[in-house]
Amino acid sequence: MFDLSGRRALVTGSSTGIGYALAKGLAGAGAEVILNGRSEARLAEAVSRLRAEGASVHAASFDVTSANEVEAAIAQIEREIGAIDILVNNAGMQRRAPLDQFSHEQWQELMKTNVDSVFLVGQAVARHMIDRQRGKIINICSVQSELGRPNIAAYTASKGAVKMLTKGMAIDWGQHGIQVNGLGPGYFKTELTEALVKDETFSSWLIGRTPSRRWGDVEDLVGAAVFLASNASNFVNGHILYVDGGVTATL
């Protein structure tokens, strides 16, 4: 039921961090994976690491915020590599600043990366999935799809939008045999959160705030991703699965 053998997965923003961990996890469940990123050097390094572990993996370097690049890249993948059975919309970014000091340029950059990319890549891939009448789309949300924190109002707005876009995709595309769900990480140890992990005051607050009493490790996300990508979730649609150690369950 959880076997992904014979399926092909595209994971955006997957040369490092959570995206790389998810791609590795899907490959471990049997999927052929396509890594995406804008840096060809980092992408090549990630592909090399996964191939060394025996994974079937390809690279697709394109800008997920560019409609033209997305359309061309998805068409090329479908034509030259094969059908995309699973899409993980993982590409994203964070910008921290008090909202009254958050520039319009920062707002636009964050929204393009976190929201526009989900729409653009999701739509381009879904058009092929609709033709085949099957597919799995996993949009990476966040606990900030539900909760706020100081100085990240724009990020919270973007991840709230991804949550609702996920539901909208499920409603429009469910009739075509496509399941669209969200995966909502809590606080995980990654390159992007390294400064927070080292901040003793914040880290102590977070661990005390989290029922599981620890930071998340990226491997903690793999089981949920495999579930949402596999036949095990064939009647799960429009759902946001939070993997957060219980943060969203407590005040």
Annotated catalytic residue, options 20, 155, 187, 242: 155
Please state the three-class secondary structure of the chain as a single string: CCCCCCCEEEECCCCCHHHHHHHHHHHHCCCEEEEEECCHHHHHHHHHHHHHCCCCEEEEECCCCCHHHHHHHHHHHHHHCCCCCEEEECCCCCCCCCHHHCCHHHHHHHHHHHHHHHHHHHHHHHHHHHHHCCEEEEEECCHHHCCCCCCCHHHHHHHHHHHHHHHHHHHHHHHHCEEEEEEEECCECCHHHHHHHHCHHHHHHHHHHCCCCCCECHHHHHHHHHHHHCHHHCCCCCCEEEECCCHHHCC
187 is catalytic: no
Spatial distance between the Cα atoms of 22 and 18, rounded to a whole number of angstroms: 6
Widest pairwise Cα distance in the chain: 52
Supply the residues annotated as catalytic: 155
